[in-house]
Amino acid sequence: MSSKSKHKPRIGVFKFASCDGCQLSLLDAEDELLAIAGAVDIAYFPEATRAMSKGPYDIGLVEGSITTYQDAQRIQEVRRHCRTLVTIGACATAGGIQALRNWKDVDEFIRVVYATPQFISTLKLSTPIAEHVPVDFELRGCPINKCHLIELITATLAGRKPNVPTYSVCIECKRKANVCIAVARGVPCLGPVTQAGCGALCPSYDRGCYGCYGPMETPSTVSLTSQFRILGQTDSQVARAFRGFNAWAWQFRKASEECERT
């Protein structure tokens, strides 16, 4: 911050189609919340406060994917009011679990859930924020890791790039000295193609990674697909594995569609 700027940086938290879990991460930072509130002005955060101050905001945290015409308009408005715009979580970054509709007939989905389909207005696709407006940084995870969120706020205020990993979950497993469940026990695991950040949680709890941090920088989904087949997974099982909370991220999308073609 320059010495001239006396005002506290203003943060806005904006929600689109999502579960609220990523913004809850801020309230879940029990040890840091009051310190954060001392360092920044939480200007817009409807989940936590009635006071809703108008922009501009120094940092806009955007949760959720774009699934309605109104939201596609609203994200343009949000972008105009945010100096730095950061997407938080798999919905905002990759379209979320609701992007499974992208391979289906959404009108049929509406009929399954709602008795009077004409009351419901929705877009055919659930899309990430970056397909609509320029995004300055994307925080991965379903949900995000609250330590990454604190690092992101700190880094943005300091004018540097946030220090969050871009390597795979495998590296975290090695650091924790986990025995590889895929190699040792033949458990299908998305760890080799998934970005780190969770602390290799699933393998540490005796189950395969299900990819909630999305694809790492250069994932070799082709070799993982053949490894899954060696482990006895059918094409539809492999396709389902890639088609989870980051299904619409292009690397996972391509991998799942290739399984469907074979």
Q: Quick check: 233 binds another protein (CB under 8 A)?
A: no
Instruction: Pick the binder of another protein from 12, 95, 143, 219 (CB under 8 A).
Output: 143
Nearest to 142 by CA among 86, 71, 88: 88
Q: What one-character DSSP code corresponds to residue 130?
A: G
Instruction: Give whichever of 109 and 137 is closer to another protein, judged by the CB atom.
Output: 109
Q: Quick check: 252 binds another protein (CB under 8 A)?
A: no
**In 3-state terms, what secondary structure has residue 25?**
helix
Within 10 angstroms of residue 197's Cβ, the number of other Cβ atoms is: 24
The tokens describing 247, both together, are: 């299904």
Instruction: Pick the binder of another protein from 81, 109, 155, 258 (CB under 8 A).
Output: 109
Which residue carries 């911050």 as its tokens? 1
Dihedral sign (CA 3, 149, 21, 56): positive
Q: For 137, left (φ over 0), alpha (ψ -120 to 50), or beta?
A: beta
Span of 39-47, 127-135, 158-166, 222-230 interacting with another protein by CB under 8 A: 39-47
Q: Quick check: 22 binds another protein (CB under 8 A)?
A: yes
> Which residues bind to another protein, rule: CB under 8 A?
15-25, 27-28, 30-31, 33-34, 37, 42, 46-52, 67-68, 70-71, 96-98, 100-101, 104, 106, 108-110, 112-116, 119-120, 122, 126, 142-143, 198, 201-202, 204-207, 210, 212, 240, 244-245
